[in-house]
C-alpha cells in the first residue's frame, strides 16, 4: 500500500508515528498547501490527513485512492458524499482526546479564577518583597465547590469535565444541543436557564446547525457578570465579535477559547484587540494534544488502516 500523510506536523513528535511504516510505503509531509495536494495524492492508495481539505475534484484525480484516514474526530475537511460516490472509505478516530481536553478545560478555568499569572508577576517583580503584609488581597477568587457548572454538550468530553467538576464539589447542570441526551445523572436545563444561573459555562459540543452561533450577544447578556465562558468545543459556536464586546464591557467575568471560527486566528480578530486582556485566555487549538492523546490518535489511525487492509 502507498500511504501519504499530508500534514504530519499537526500531530507533532509522537513516539509511534514511524510505526505507520509497518503498514506500507509511507511518505510523510509536514505541511501540504492547497496547490500541492493533487500531486501528492495522485498515486496514493491511502491518505492520512488532519486538516488538509479533500474535495471531489481531488479525489477523482487520485485514481488509486481507496481509503482516507482522518487523524482527528472532526470530518468536515473531507467531502464524504463525494468519497461515497467514488467508493472511497473515510475513517476518523473518536474518543482519543477526552482526558486531554478535560484537563485543559480546568487549566483554563483555574488560570482565570485564580489569577496565577498576576500573583506570579507580583512576586517576581519584587512587589511581594516590598509588601507590608504577608500576602496579596488585590484579587478575589472563589472555590469551585461553591459554583454551578453548566456544560453545553454532555458527550464523552462533557462527561469527563462533569466528573472533574463534581470531584471539586461543584453542582453540574447541562444543556443538550441535540435535545436527545436526557439519560444523565445531572439536571438538564434549557440554554437560557443554564446561562442565567451558571458560574462556569463550558462548551463541549460539535459545530452543526444546532450550535452555529449558539452563543452571541443575546446569550452573553444572560450570563452573570462574574461568570466564565470556556470553549474547547468548536469555533463558530461562540460569536467572537460579541464576546470581545462582552469582555470589554465587563458583562461577563472572563472567557477562555481553544478554538476559533477561523484557524489559525485572523490577525484582525476583535479578540486580539480587547482592553481587558486579563479576562481572556486563548490557546492555539491544543486542548486535544497531550502526548498521550496524540499517541492514541496514531494508534487509532493505524488500526483503521489495518482493519481496511485485512477486510
pLDDT in tens, 171-230: 999 999 999 999 999 999 999 999 999 999 999 999 999 999 999 999 999 999 999 999
pLDDT in tens, 228-283: 999 999 999 999 999 999 999 999 999 999 999 999 999 999 999 999 999 999 99
In this structure, which topology does domain 2-94+291-310 adopt according to CATH?
Answer: Rossmann fold (3.40.50)
- Domains of the chain, by residue range, sit at 2-94+291-310, 98-282
CA 145-150-151 angle, 5° bins = 120
Residue tagged active-site, from 121, 263, 292, 306: 263
285 catalytic, yes or no? Answer: yes
234 catalytic, yes or no? Answer: yes
Q: Which CATH superfamily is domain 98-282 in?
A: NAD(P)-binding Rossmann-like Domain (3.40.50.720)
pLDDT in tens, 104-150: 999 999 999 999 999 999 999 999 999 999 999 999 999 999 999 99
pLDDT in tens, 16-49: 999 999 999 999 999 999 999 999 999 999 999 9
Same fold, 2-94+291-310 and 98-282: yes
Q: With 0-12 CB in 10 A as exposed, 13-18 as middle and 19+ as buried, what is 152?
A: buried
Residue tagged active-site, from 234, 240, 279, 294: 234
Residue tagged active-site, from 80, 111, 188, 285: 285
Detail the DSSP E strand segments found in 211-274: 228-231, 254-257
> Is a pLDDT exceeding 90 seen at residue 311?
no
Q: Structure pTM?
A: 0.94
36 catalytic, yes or no? Answer: no
What backbone phi and psi angles, to 5 degrees, belong to 27? -115, 125
- Reference 67, options 93, 82, 43, 47; nearest CA is 47
Amino acid at each position: 500500500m502507498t500511504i501519504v500523510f499530508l500534514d504530519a506536523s499537526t500531530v507533532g513528535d509522537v513516539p509511534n508515528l514511524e510505526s505507520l511504516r509497518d503498514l506500507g510505503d509511507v511518505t510523510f509531509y509536514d505541511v501540504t498547501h492547497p496547490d500541492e495536494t493533487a500531486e501528492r495524492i495522485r498515486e496514493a492508495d491511502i491518505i492520512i490527513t488532519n486538516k488538509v481539505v479533500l474535495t471531489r475534484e481531488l479525489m477523482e484525480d487520485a485514481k488509486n485512492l481507496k481509503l482516507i484516514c482522518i487523524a482527528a474526530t472532526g470530518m468536515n475537511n473531507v467531502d464524504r458524499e463525494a468519497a461515497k460516490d467514488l467508493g472511497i472509505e473515510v475513517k476518523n478516530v473518536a474518543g482519543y482526546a477526552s482526558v486531554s481536553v478535560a484537563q485543559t478545560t480546568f487549566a483554563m478555568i483555574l488560570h482565570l479564577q485564580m489569577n496565577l499569572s498576576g500573583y506570579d508577576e507580583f512576586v517576581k517583580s519584587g512587589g511581594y518583597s516590598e509588601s507590608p503584609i504577608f500576602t496579596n488581597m488585590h484579587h478575589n477568587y472563589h472555590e469551585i465547590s461553591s459554583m454551578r457548572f453548566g456544560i453545553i454538550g454532555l458527550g464523552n468530553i462533557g462527561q469527563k469535565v462533569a466528573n472533574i467538576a463534581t470531584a471539586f464539589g461543584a453542582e453540574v447542570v447541562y444543556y443538550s444541543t441535540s435535545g436527545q441526551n436526557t439519560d444523565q445523572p445531572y439536571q438538564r436545563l434549557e440554554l437560557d436557564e443554564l446561562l442565567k444561573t451558571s458560574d462556569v459555562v463550558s462548551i463541549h459540543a460539535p459545530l452543526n446547525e444546532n450550535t452555529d452561533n449558539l452563543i452571541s450577544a443575546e446569550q452573553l447578556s444572560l450570563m452573570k457578570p462574574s461568570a466564565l465562558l470556556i470553549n474547547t468545543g468548536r469555533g463558530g459556536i461562540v460569536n467572537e465579535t460579541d464576546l470581545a464586546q462582552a469582555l470589554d464591557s465587563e458583562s461577563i467575568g472572563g472567557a477562555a477559547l481553544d478554538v476559533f471560527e477561523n484557524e489559525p486566528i485572523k490577525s484582525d480578530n476583535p479578540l486580539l484587540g480587547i482592553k481587558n486582556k486579563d479576562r481572556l485566555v486563548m490557546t492555539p487549538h491544543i486542548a486535544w494534544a497531550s502526548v498521550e492523546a496524540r499517541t492514541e490518535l496514531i494508534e487509532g489511525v493505524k488500526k483503521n488502516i489495518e482493519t481496511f487492509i485485512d477486510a
